Amino acid sequence: MAAHEAHAHHDAHGHEHHEEGFISKYIFTQDHKMIGKQFLMTAIFMGLVAMMLSILFRIQLAWPGEESDFLSFFLGETWAPGGVMKESMYLGLVTIHGTIMVFFLLTGGLSGTFSNILIPLQIGARDMASGFLNMLSFWLFVLSALIMLCSLFIETGPASSGWTVYPPLSALPDAIEGSGLGMTMWLVSMAIFIASSLIGSLNYIVTVMNLRTKGMKMTRLPLTIWAFLVTAILGVLSFPVLLSAALLLLMDRLAGTSFYLSDIIVGSEMLENHGGSPILYQHLFWFLGHPEVYIVLLPALGLSSEIISTNSRKPIFGYRAMIGSILAIGFLSFIVWGHHMFVTGMNPFIGSVFVFTTLLIAIPSAVKVFNCLTTIWRGANVYTPAMLFSVGLVSTFITGGVTGIILADSALDIAVHDTYFVVAHFHIVMGMSAVFGMFAGVYHWFPKMYGKMLNTRLGYAHFWVTLVGAYGVFFPMHFVGLAGAPRRYYDYSVYGDFNQDSLDMMMDLNEIITVFAIIAAFGQIIFLFNFFYSIARGPKAVQNPWRSNTLEWTTPVEHIHGNWPGAIPEVHRWPYDYSKPGAEEDFIPQIVPLMEGEEEH
Amino acid sequence: MTKLIVLIVIVIGVLALAQLVRLYELSSKLRNRREEDIPNRENRLNATLLLVFMFAFFASFIYLMLEYGWTGRGDAASAHGVETDSLLNLNFIIISAVFFLTNGLLFGFAYKYVRKPGVKAYYFPHDNRLELLWTVVPAIVLAVIIILGLKSWNEQTSDANKDAVRIELFSKQFDWTVRMAGEDNALGYFDYKLTNENNPLALLTTKTIQDAIDSMEMGSTGIKAMEKKLNNGRLMMIPEDRQKMITTLGRKERLVRLLYQMKARHNKGLDARAMDDVVFNANDTLFLCEGQEYEFNFRAKDVIHSAFFPHFRAQMNTVPGMTTRFKFTPTITTNDMRKKMNNNKFNYILMCNKICGSSHYKMKLMVVVLDKPSYKAWYAKVSKLNPAAPDACKTFKNIYAVGKPKKVEAPAAEGQPADSTAVAAN
């Protein structure tokens, strides 16, 4: 009966009641829920690879030059002769670790997974605006991920000029081995990734703008959707610039152009290129690179706002201010990129403009933090694993955010630019906050994704190991940076030449950091086990386990094409009516009409 | 073998975990407990743990700050660096206050407002005054930070004084070369096309242009020899090698054409500018004088490098195809700094801080700061204009006149702390 109703309401998906074949259901699926899960699986796999790479080079940093069975097991004789990592492989690992984490885990995994799963479900749509483009976006993502992974196994090694791949180093195979085939593969992979991201983002924007259900005004959207929308807009506006940067670099490498090259002698070879500027690449790269930080962070912040509100049983404090700060962060993120380039010799006046705009971003960020704090204040907080990760996210967002103030201040940046202080800063913001947001999202929406419940206690264990482990990695790192340790150094033996005390201190800290990194990595086994075990054998979920207001919890536990068996529900209120005075329950779903005389928020 | 054991342990661990989880599920089922219902006991436990974590976190911050802080860099050894440090301290005080306050509120609230039976959450959707408060207060604090920061930034990046000594730091994979301006305190011009083994810094003079043309045309790899080889019908060559040679020849021909143009346009009056420059060998220690302002001009031969002087709080990228500049005044001699740091082997250093290739981490240059008298004595030795003078003569004129640059031992050769003490003691 219900099925027939759905059919009547939903002509576009007339085929939905056919038995689907394995391929169209699990592989080339156009269903947004399945595509979201595909993104999640791919991202988890890529994240694991990138985490393993980081453990390999952390071992080198903590115990440089020591023979390690572990290294020779993973890298073999070519890359770790006698169990000691080669210098070029170290740089390759650092580069691919950064690339995978930023693009494949945090961009693809966070925005790809949760935009896909949550946008149609939370705005009340049957599916994405274009199911086909959605599928295309995912498969391009897989293709680019495969090319990136393959580049790890080629003879000359992967791209190894850092994840920012600055030319001329990345343009000249004579300058470093990894700039040969490895770099070409990197660029091709990124070009495909950008296509995937663009198609996905356009789809998200169109879906949010056009497919909202009746009554779902923009001011009734959950903050998650606001975050995904602004993220998608940032992606659409900034990724094409990275594509052009990558294509120009590709042309410099393959077609002999001089966009980024000028007056270079590499080895004994005098190149003809004249008139290009390596700095041009940096401008183009960071024009994406900085919005990218927020492409990664905004979804995490959106997810955590939603989770904090649900689990504190309180409305998110300052809903409109939250929307305002998402928009302000989105806008400002486009005019701050120069703060990555204070020491490139840029005009000091331009530098001061970037100082000003960068520090402005601290204001909307502060608003978001204080609003989250006020939401927790006088709540009836329930610590589900998702809530714990969200609290952790707020903490890391603060801790990582405040050091940003130092780095944004050009006068101070000179002293700490490209040291481990920077590495600590952006790992706490991106590596911890964004990943915590992702974990929070997985724990919270797992029942919606798989119809099963994750084990809560394993979730607790995972959270505490991860929080302590990750802070243990990135907190001491600030002090390595303050001592002046440059990033991307294979080892710090050079310190032995001029300040042994400093070297001793650095090695102490590096060992502590690596030990914590290994602990944190082991902690992820708990998650993986919980994740896959629960998909297979977890207890069945109920329809609305967290007693939440948003629309996705009105869909049946069993996934169906078109999401709602009957008519799409109509929305009557904002999503944050938790513990509203006068209501019987401590939550009022969005589909409940306003009571007589009840004021909408 | 160990690998196998570790693998087995992990597998057994996962299996054990699976069994535990099944046990837990069975007991949940027996007690009719659902996964999403968090018992109050567990909820409170997590709230308490959050508070405990906060204290541990704060304690570790204080410990790290006291134990490590600026360790390793010591006091700023340059005039502007002192200001950088005080600004950094001020900023650290501000951000530490924010860090303690907001993390404290977060974990404090999380602990205090844990769900209690019978207590309903307080419906508090917004409050304009509060929101205004945390928009305006951060804005004011940031305004202070911005104003102080920009003041310092403008001073650090403004042009150097006229009497600042001009020094060029030339970077290539994986070393640094120092060139000091001569009597005229002006660095000679350069063009990368003039690079050859006699003229590694590619300085521009009438003679270097001619030499560059000659070395491009003559010699076993010169244009003439290549043309001869390619036109020799009886010479058998592997096609790839032949193609490669044709490409190289084409490039060399285009470059030599540019050199001829340069020759035609060259103003002989500029030669003197380069001739008195003091050119050191790659890796020769950089000597600086206490209290003297320096303007560093940075060049890169191959890829981007970055000149990072951690102790002087100075840093600037070196970019192929352009010259970047940074100025600073060293204020503490190496000897004084050793006393301050209580480490008689301490040295100042210039490190590369932009990934530049596999030996990036080894690319460094020793820096020695001398007091005025010992600096004068040292400078007199290296900058003598007399071509008949002994090995210590390093002006470009002298080096170039004799063809190949001679390996000249500076008073403190590359990274020898002992030598530099000797000089300082002079």
- What rounded mean pLDDT belongs to chain A? 92
Q: Parallel, antiparallel, or unpaired for β B286-289 and B165-172? A: unpaired
pLDDT band at A145 (very low <50, low <70, confident <90, very high): very high
Residues B173 and B140 in one domain: no
CB atoms within 10 A of CB A127: 25
Q: What is the pLDDT of residue B219?
A: 79
Residues B136 and B46 in one domain: yes
Domain of residue B345 covers 165-181+277-426
User: Using one digit for the tens of pLDDT, what is the confidence trace for B348-364?
Assistant: 999 999 999 999 999 99
Residue A455 has pLDDT above 80, yes or no: yes
Distance of alpha carbon A486 from alpha carbon A506, whole angstroms: 11
The pair of three-digit structure tokens given for residue A285, joined into one six-digit string: 């790269």
Q: Which of B34, B134, B340 to mutate to test the interface with A (most CBs of A within 10 A)?
A: B134
Q: Parallel, antiparallel, or unpaired for β B294-300 and B165-172? A: parallel
Distance of alpha carbon B7 from alpha carbon B30, whole angstroms: 35
Q: How many DSSP H helices and E strands does chain B contain?
A: 12, 10
The pair of three-digit structure tokens given for residue A195, joined into one six-digit string: 């296509």
Residue type, B297: N
Inter-chain touch A456–B38, beta carbons under 8 Å: yes
First vs last C-alpha separation in chain B = 62
Residues B250 and B300 in one domain: no
Q: CA A248 → CA A167, A199, A238, A278, distances in Å?
A: 11, 22, 16, 11
Distance of alpha carbon A549 from alpha carbon A310, whole angstroms: 8
Give the rounded percent of residues in chain A with a pLDDT score beyond 90. Answer: 84
What distance in Å separates residue A567's CA from the closest CA in chain B? 28
Using DSSP, state whether B364 is helix, strand or coil: strand
Inter-chain touch B121–A475, beta carbons under 8 Å: no
Distance of alpha carbon A269 from alpha carbon A261, whole angstroms: 14
What distance in Å separates residue A312's CA from the closest CA in chain B? 7
What distance in Å separates residue A20's CA from the closest CA in chain B? 32
Inter-chain touch B120–A319, beta carbons under 8 Å: no
Q: What is the pLDDT of residue B278?
A: 86
Residues B117 and B249 in one domain: no
Residues B345 and B383 in one domain: yes
Residues B71 and B124 in one domain: yes
Q: Considering the domain boundaries, does residue B257 fall inside one?
A: yes
Residue B20 has pLDDT above 90, yes or no: no
pLDDT band at B28 (very low <50, low <70, confident <90, very high): confident
pTM of the full structure: 0.92
B232 reaches A (C-beta below 8 A): no
> What is the rounded average pLDDT of the residues A35-54?
95
pLDDT band at B21 (very low <50, low <70, confident <90, very high): confident
Residue type, A462: H
Q: Considering the domain boundaries, does residue B267 fall inside one?
A: yes
Q: How far is C-alpha B58 from the chain's CA centre?
A: 31
User: Using one digit for the tens of pLDDT, what is the confidence trace for A105-144?
Assistant: 999 989 999 999 999 999 999 999 999 999 999 999 999 9
What distance in Å separates residue A472's CA from the closest CA in chain B? 9
Q: What share of chain A is helix, strand, coil (3-state, %, to 5)?
A: 70, 0, 30
- The CATH number of the domain where B383 resides is what? 2.60.40.420
Kindly list the residues from chain A whose CB atom is less than 8 angstroms away from the CB atom of residue B355: 91, 161-162, 166, 169, 488
Question: Cis omega (within 30 of 0) on the bond before A240?
Answer: no
Residue B420 has pLDDT above 70, yes or no: no
Q: Is the dihedral of CA A85, A86, A90, A93 positive or negative?
A: negative
Residue of A nearest to B191 (CA): A263
pLDDT band at B395 (very low <50, low <70, confident <90, very high): low
Using DSSP, state whether B332 is helix, strand or coil: coil
Q: What is the pLDDT of residue B404?
A: 38
Residues B286 and B261 in one domain: no
Residues B267-292, buried b or exposed e (16+ Cβ, 10 A)? eeeebebbbbbbbbbbbbbbbbbbeb
Residues B114 and B223 in one domain: no
Distance of alpha carbon B335 from alpha carbon B346, whole angstroms: 9
The answer to whether the beta carbons of residues A284 and A245 sit under 8 Å apart is: yes
A250 reaches B (C-beta below 8 A): no
Inter-chain touch A475–B64, beta carbons under 8 Å: yes
Q: How far is C-alpha A380 from the chain's CA centre?
A: 30
The answer to whether the beta carbons of residues A212 and A255 sit under 8 Å apart is: no
What stretches of B68-194 show up as alpha helix (H) in DSSP?
79-112, 128-157
Q: Parallel, antiparallel, or unpaired for β B175-180 and B278-279? A: antiparallel
Q: Considering the domain boundaries, does residue B20 fall inside one?
A: no
Distance of alpha carbon A543 from alpha carbon A360, whole angstroms: 43
What stretches of A124-180 show up as alpha helix (H) in DSSP?
131-150
Task: Check residue B102 and report its DSSP letter.
Answer: H
Q: Considering the domain boundaries, does residue B186 fall inside one?
A: no
CB atoms within 10 A of CB A600: 10
User: Using one digit for the tens of pLDDT, what is the confidence trace for A227-241?
Assistant: 999 999 999 999 999
pLDDT band at A3 (very low <50, low <70, confident <90, very high): very low
Please say which residue of B219, B251, B272 terminates a domain: B272
Residues B213 and B242 in one domain: yes
Q: The tokens 């290539």 sit on which residue?
A: B172
Q: What is the pLDDT of residue B74?
A: 86
User: Using one digit for the tens of pLDDT, what is the confidence trace for B169-197?
Assistant: 999 999 999 999 888 899 999 999 999 88
Q: Considering the domain boundaries, does residue B3 fall inside one?
A: no
The answer to whether the beta carbons of residues B278 and B385 sit under 8 Å apart is: no
Residues B219 and B297 in one domain: no
Closest in A168, A276, A370 to B303, CB measured: A168
What distance in Å separates residue B4's CA from the closest CA in chain A? 11
Q: What is the pLDDT of residue A29?
A: 87
Inter-chain touch B24–A371, beta carbons under 8 Å: no
Q: Considering the domain boundaries, does residue B23 fall inside one?
A: no
> What is the rounded average pLDDT of the residues A536-561?
92
CB atoms within 10 A of CB B72: 23
Distance of alpha carbon B129 from alpha carbon B131, whole angstroms: 5
Residues B289 and B415 in one domain: yes
DSSP annotation string for A14-26? GGGGSPPPHIIII
Residue A461 has pLDDT above 90, yes or no: yes
As a whole number of Å, the CA-based R_g of chain B is 33
Question: Which residues, 6 or more positions from A545, have their beta carbon under 8 angstroms from its beta carbon?
Answer: A447, A453, B34, B35, B36
Question: Cis omega (within 30 of 0) on the bond before B174?
Answer: yes
The answer to whether the beta carbons of residues B311 and B394 sit under 8 Å apart is: no
Please say which residue of B248, B272, B296 terminates a domain: B272
Q: The tokens 């099963």 sit on which residue?
A: A452
Q: Considering the domain boundaries, does residue B21 fall inside one?
A: no
Backbone angles phi, psi at B109, to 5 degrees: -60, -45
Query: How many domains is chain B built from?
Result: 3
Distance of alpha carbon A124 from alpha carbon A126, whole angstroms: 7
Q: What is the pLDDT of residue B397?
A: 64
The answer to whether the beta carbons of residues A415 and A476 sit under 8 Å apart is: no
B303 reaches A (C-beta below 8 A): yes
The pair of three-digit structure tokens given for residue A300, joined into one six-digit string: 């995490």
A199 reaches B (C-beta below 8 A): no
Please say which residue of B272, B290, B307 terminates a domain: B272
Backbone angles phi, psi at B158, to 5 degrees: -70, 165
Residues B305 and B343 in one domain: yes
- Reported as type and span, the H/E element at residue B261 is helix B239-265
The answer to whether the beta carbons of residues A128 and A39 sit under 8 Å apart is: no
Residue type, A467: L
Q: How far is C-alpha B153 from the chain's CA centre?
A: 18
Q: What is the pLDDT of residue B411?
A: 38
Q: Considering the domain boundaries, does residue B10 fall inside one?
A: no
